[in-house]
Structure 1
Amino acid sequence: MRRRPQRSAAANSPSLIFGVHPVTELLRAAPESIERVWVGEGTEAARVRGEAARAGVAVETTDRATLDRMTSGGRHQNVAARARPFAYADLADVLARGPALVVALDGVTDPQNLGAIVRSAEVLGAGALILPRDRSAPVTPAAIRASAGATAHLPIVQVVNLTRALGEAKERGYWIVGLAPAGSSEFQELPALERAVLVVGSEDKGARPLVRETCDFLVRIPQRGRVESLNASVAAAIGIYGLRERLVRASKPPGSGGPATPASS
């Protein structure tokens, strides 16, 4: 097949994903989110070409030098793709479905951290993730790549007002549990919960005061070393696992009764 020259505009595309695993995961889970795939030589690239063809996604053959320019020298493994704008889930739909565990982020602005948190949330069994529109990294190709494709499996909601969204979750029977270095409880001290939202703030400032005030519990992760804080994505993974251990099977449908009063702050 004759190789076609690529336009330099692709090099600066804000929707570029590259690497065999992220592109393959997206092709398998959400092929409609990919507009075009570029592949070079090699066995792995050929497999990606096959995946794209089976999914009905347009494929172009190119060379390593072009892929190097497109990805600014990133580790593309002879594979790149251009994604369509990310399709966020609807908060009302997510709450109506009633997953036992939801993660909400406040002030996580690094797409690598966002992607890592999405990956941990999906692997550890969270049912959705909520992001505020402001003061937060959106779902970009960088976040998709860092998630190893988990963004294709986990519903992600973007909201204008996080505090209001947490209030809506409370009305649906969710307890709001915030991670905070000075939290009054540890995870094993929490009562058994049917449904919960875990709130994770930024590394330096944590969640905003209004968001913290919305929480029913503020929980700390015990730290034994000398370093001040954990990376946000590491703290989130520990928090998701810790809170998951406190969840019990729901005995009633979402919205049939929530927390009567804030239990701790």
Structure 2
Amino acid sequence: MRNKAKISKDLYYIYGKHPVLAALSNPKRYIQNVLCTEDIFNLHKNLISNHPYEITNIDYLTRLFGSNHNHQGIAANVKSIFSNRIEDIDITIPNCKIAILDQITDPQNIGAIIRSAASFDITTIILPLDNAPDENATIAKTASGALELVQMVKVTNLRWSIEYLKKHGFWIIGLDGNAKQSLSTKIFSDRMAIVLGSEDKGIRRLVKEACDHLVKIPISSKVESLNVSNAAAIAFYLISLDS
């Protein structure tokens, strides 16, 4: 066992093999300490031993997180990697693709969107500072390691951030179930951002007005709408075809 690091602010626990091992592999992620069983440590010794760690047991981790959380014998106390500056986005990346989430508050949906974003080379996800959760264990667990692969930025004003992207040559496309035009690669560009709203409220009016195009994903009339994480996966896939 190695000594734990000093207690710091703005830390939270992530748990589960994929989220924790991905975090341990991310040089940008601050790791306070790792809690794991001896079996898990022996399997991933080379990675875990690079950080402060403590060998513990399944019962302790279950008491710490609750029996309804699948910790898989490993957890880590980490510092958030969410940024709060739109200027932190590297807009010089070739074929830079960004997702903007407006009023999406469910951590599981956000985690699933992050996982899809990583799968289809979406480089950055932007969320509002208000009406969106801070980085947390549910997001990390649902993203299954992808949280370490996609830049996350929380901003105070989505519309201003959209205008910032436009000034740097980005094409802004909003997903809207009432749009007349369908999502198509014909409207894509090398530098683009796609805006997704919540299932119940959609994209807010001012954000919608800032978009260059409003498009929909055609679905059967038997179904009212898609889950936003499913809609995101479809949109990201289509965007990847144009890269």
Q: TM-score, normalised by structure 1?
A: 0.81
Structure 2 counterpart of 1:72: 66
- Distance in 2 (alpha carbons) for counterparts of 1:109 and 1:137: 6
- Distance in 2 (alpha carbons) for counterparts of 1:96 and 1:191: 20
Q: 1:187·1:243 contact (CA, 8 Å) conserved in 2?
A: no
Task: Tell whether 2:120 aligns with 1:130.
Answer: no
Structure 2 counterpart of 1:140: 136
Deviations 1:188-208 (A, max 9, x none): 273342311000111111111
Paired residues in the alignment total 235
- Distance in 2 (alpha carbons) for counterparts of 1:58 and 1:75: 22
Displacement, 1:153?
1.5
SS of 2:111's equivalent in the other structure is helix
Q: 1:20·1:48 contact (CA, 8 Å) conserved in 2?
A: no
Displacement, 1:85?
3.0
- Distance in 2 (alpha carbons) for counterparts of 1:196 and 1:187: 13
Matches within 5 A, 1:191-206: 191-206=187-202
Structure 2 counterpart of 1:218: 214
Q: 1:20·1:45 contact (CA, 8 Å) conserved in 2?
A: no
What is the aligned-residue identity percentage?
Answer: 33
Distance 1:22-1:236 versus aligned 2 partners, 3 A rule: same
Deviations 1:141-180 (A, max 9, x none): 2211111111212111111000000001011111110011
Deviations 1:22-79 (A, max 9, x none): 111111124742211111142x3422343111x3x11111111111011111111111
- Distance in 1 (alpha carbons) for counterparts of 2:147 and 2:84: 11
Task: Tell whether 2:36 aligns with 1:39.
Answer: yes
SS of 2:76's equivalent in the other structure is strand
Task: Tell whether 2:232 aligns with 1:236.
Answer: yes
SS of 1:86's equivalent in the other structure is coil
Structure 2 counterpart of 1:86: 81
Which structure 1 residue ranges, 5 or more long, are not aligned? 5-12, 248-265
Structure 1 counterpart of 2:163: 167
Q: TM-score, normalised by structure 2?
A: 0.88
- Distance in 2 (alpha carbons) for counterparts of 1:194 and 1:87: 25
- Distance in 1 (alpha carbons) for counterparts of 2:234 and 2:141: 21
Distance 1:87-1:202 versus aligned 2 partners, 3 A rule: closer
Distance 1:89-1:124 versus aligned 2 partners, 3 A rule: farther
Distance 1:192-1:152 versus aligned 2 partners, 3 A rule: closer
Structure 2 counterpart of 1:254: none
Q: 2:82·2:154 contact (CA, 8 Å) conserved in 1?
A: no
Distance 1:146-1:219 versus aligned 2 partners, 3 A rule: same
Q: What one-letter code is carried by the residue in structure 2 that aligns with 1:203?
A: E
